[in-house]
Structure 1
Amino acid sequence: MSEPSAFAPVNELTLVARLSLALFAGAVVGAEREAKNKSAGLRTHILVSFGAAVFVLIPIQLGAAQQNPDILGRAISGIIGGVSFIGAGTILRSSRVHGLTSAAAIWVSSGLGTAMGCGLWLLGLTGALVALIVLRILAKLE
């Protein structure tokens, strides 16, 4: 008997857990940005992280990722491209470059959601902790 694929559809409880963890990871980063009164705050980061998880869970739940793992890679590439537009909009709100950290935080939130959606919860939670440390502690050193 063969082992189940890492890309096999998951049960409802696992699905809800992955989406909840994506929401939590986005909230960790977003709450820090919100505390600093940044325009890309709590809701933005939650939605980016949650949306990324949804977009990787779609091919997983349809069984398409199990049949062709490249489909999951294409979904992740689409997330990266889409989030890049959000980041560019965050940076180019005026005639000067502003908001690089907010754009980077949005990009990280998409990565955290992608990790959670793929079931890599330890990677996602560790990433959220590292992002919080970078945004909170390293900001004081700058």
Structure 2
Amino acid sequence: MSEWLSSLSTDYANQIEMSLRLCAATIAGMAIGINRDIHDKPIGMRTLGLVSLGSAIVILAGSVYEGTHFGQDAVSRVIQGIMTGLGFLGAGAVLRAPDKMEVHGLTTAATVWIAAGLGVAAGLGAWFVTIAGTVVTLLVLTLGKSLEDMLTRLFSSGDKPGGE
């Protein structure tokens, strides 16, 4: 068994490292988001987890591509343009009621941005980053709300308006 694990870690060391980086980025963003949830801010755990994951995907995708005929500086400028443009598109998904402090669509905006990051990764041929990033994104979107609610209840001081 240990021989198999040793072989696996040697053969797939880069993929294991990238998976850890993607997960660490997601956890870091989610940790900040828990704080925002506890303080009733409009941006939360899932949104910041996705933004952090998207950033990691773009960085990893830009560092592992091979076989393209463009220079690294040209690819970098294209990535910057895509991510900036998609940020504006994502901003269009955010809705705010003019008379209230309610914001809707932040997670949707983050998913627009992360989809761009996944597209960049796929376009660069960073297949593992694309697949791993997609899996982690789906986990955050699927399990994130339940985890977010549980952690908010756990760490909340109970002094929120509304009697909690």
Q: TM-score if structure 2 supplies the norm length?
A: 0.45
In 2, Cα distance between equivalents of 1:104 and 1:94: 19
Q: Does 1:121 align with 2:124?
A: no
Name the structure, 1 or 2, with higher relative contact order (CA <8 Å, separation 6+).
1
| Aligned residue in 2 for 1:103 | 109
Amino acid in the other structure paired with 1:127: G
Per-residue deviation, residues 43-82 of structure 1 (Å, max 9, x unmatched): xxxxxxxxxxxxx9xxx87x4x1xx321110000000111
In 1, Cα distance between equivalents of 2:105 and 2:93: 6
After TM superposition, list the pairs within 5 Å mapping 1:57-96 onto structure 2: 63=69, 65=70, 68-92=71-95, 94-95=97-98, 96=102
Q: Does 1:130 align with 2:136?
A: yes
| Aligned residue in 1 for 2:55 | none
Q: For residue 103 of structure 2, give the secondary structure of its aligned residue in structure 1.
A: coil
Per-residue deviation, residues 87-118 of structure 1 (Å, max 9, x unmatched): 11011465352211000111111011100100
Q: TM-score if structure 1 supplies the norm length?
A: 0.51
Q: For residue 81 of structure 1, give the secondary structure of its aligned residue in structure 2.
A: helix
| Aligned residue in 2 for 1:12 | none
| Larger Rg, first or second structure (1 or 2) | 2
In 2, Cα distance between equivalents of 1:108 and 1:84: 10
Alpha carbon RMSD of aligned pairs, Å? 2.1
**Identical residues among aligned pairs (%):** 41
